[in-house]
A and B are shown apart, each in its own frame.
Chain A
Amino acid sequence: MRTTITTRSVAASGAVLALALTGCASSDTGDAEGSSAETGSSSVTLVTHDSFALSDGLLDEFTAESGYDVELVAPGDGGTLVNQLILTKDSPLGDAVFGVDNTYASRAVDEGVFDPYLSSALPESAAAEVPAGESLTPVDRGDVCINADLAWFEENDLDAPTTLDDLADPAYQDLLVVTNPATSSPGLAFLLATVGAKGEHGWTDYWTALSENGVKIADGWEDAYYVDFTGAGGAGDRPLVLSYATSPAFTVTEDGSETTTTALLDTCFRQVEYAGVLAGAENPDGARELVDFLVSRTVQEDIPGQMYMYPVDGDAALPDEWAQFAPLADDPFDVDPAEISAHRGDWIETWTATVLG
């Protein structure tokens, strides 16, 4: 893999600095063949988001099993990733992709970005997360939920809210901060949770009620969580924040006995991340093998510790503190991906008009 990169960089720098060098530039396939002659393998390129991570050595295992080196390209996350896939569909950035989620997947599918592939290695327990059309393979999932600062509620002698309706209850006035769905992906997920909960026609009334109850809007998650939230060590004044179901696992006390925050599991939207094979891939076989690998038990059990997401394999072992402090919601809200794809823009605009005026 190192030789591959070096050859490429050299070829590229030649191209850039001399602007006229044609002799030594070698093609991607040339690279792959070249390195296969050296190492007995060729490579597969995985396009993913910048949160992608696996334990050291895991990808080497894949290389050992399949004979393919893995190269990573991580051009952004969420919408950025999807948009880049769409823009480059005539000249794809790689062979396989991981990290497209259910809020964006339909759009990419409609644009013909993928060669449909549902891995046969996907365990039965993950069947519920398979998208309609079966063109992608689910790999991991997570819930976006309101988090509560338990210490704050204890100090103020108030019971933490549990449902979406509680959040609009005057008892919890001026306590919630969420993020803008136009600029933040958890913000969009929470908007979708309210759409799923209140229906296509009821959600705007719900947000009107939230506004009247003093909901605060931040543009980014880091902003809301680290500045406005009381439970992240900052000087914030909001004990309720939009975050992830896994977040409480990061506020466990030193002795590991309890967590100072909790996720309100009746306020969640389920995000599912998919892997797929890119249309026009140079190495579609390698891409399919890589997708199979991502849903294998080894990788599935590695995901929580590396990527903060739950594996789709319901039987995969979880870190202890997750089971204890950060369980998934039993019955998260969901919205049909095709609906999301069709209405995302309208909903965000309506939301902006309703909440920000």
Chain B
Amino acid sequence: MSRGLEVRDAVVRYGTTTAVDGVSLDVAEGEVLALLGPSGCGKSSLLRAVAGLEPLADGSVAWHGRDLAAVPVHRRAFGLLFQDGQLFAHADVASNVGYGLRVAGVRRTDREARVDELLGLVGLSGYGSRAVTALSGGERQRVALARALAPRPRLLLLDEPLSALDRALRERLAAELREILTATGTTGIFVTHDHDEAFAVADRVAVMDAGTILQVAPPEELWAAPVSWRVADFLGYQAVADVDHERVAVGPTGLETTVPDVGRWVGDVVRSVRRRGRTEVTVDVDLGGGVGRYTAVPGAELTDGSDTSVGLRLRADGCAPLPAP
């Protein structure tokens, strides 16, 4: 018998549209899985189906081998964290965090201790009596996280919890989230459309598109061996290059400039900018599928940035082989 979540052939329909089309997925206890995909790919629907908020048109969701079809949302003990928190605006921070505990009938003293513990965990010690309307966006999400974690859910479902925040905050919170989930040993499904976020938070990443799962793998493995260009595309690979009739996915740092006669390809420099302390060169080049505009890392040979025509070659650690289509 498996431990953890088991989704089999799940189908979710809204009227005539099929949002989730036969997805199977396992999440082991203690593991954090990211569901990565573009908006509208069905990842949120899948999450809602796991939570019990959408009925399955077909297939099943089980926990520790027990089918959950007959278990209503509130008995699943699955926490859920929305993009915009959905805090109870008529209650203060502590009441929000303590909500699930109160529902579970936890004694007042235990409840208060747990609320304090969680507020500490999310970095909001002493915020208990504040009105949630007075919080910033990041603080709201921390409260929402604390609220979701407080009743120790068997599984925490996170529906793009960071996407409403600004970039710096998002990156910081993603790291914190990872720490918190690991520290609390929480099993989680983390829905996102941002691969950096997915890699920062998850043990494994499931790439989803058009209602189906394309690939599930740990971040490094996924990065190293995407099963298709579609997957590679989501992960941030910028191009497919044809190398001796082998298809290679070119990552953001997979292309390097060199002198024209050394490179496998020759391209035109569009511009050269410094980003995050590194120089990025934008080039127009035909990698085998027609001329496209890509980013390249400046190679040692190219120094002053005044060249207009450059040679380009692949960097092994920035590329991944693709199976034949």
Question: In the complex, are there CB atoms of A and B closer than 8 Å?
Answer: no
> Which B residues form the contact surface with A (CB < 8 A)?
none
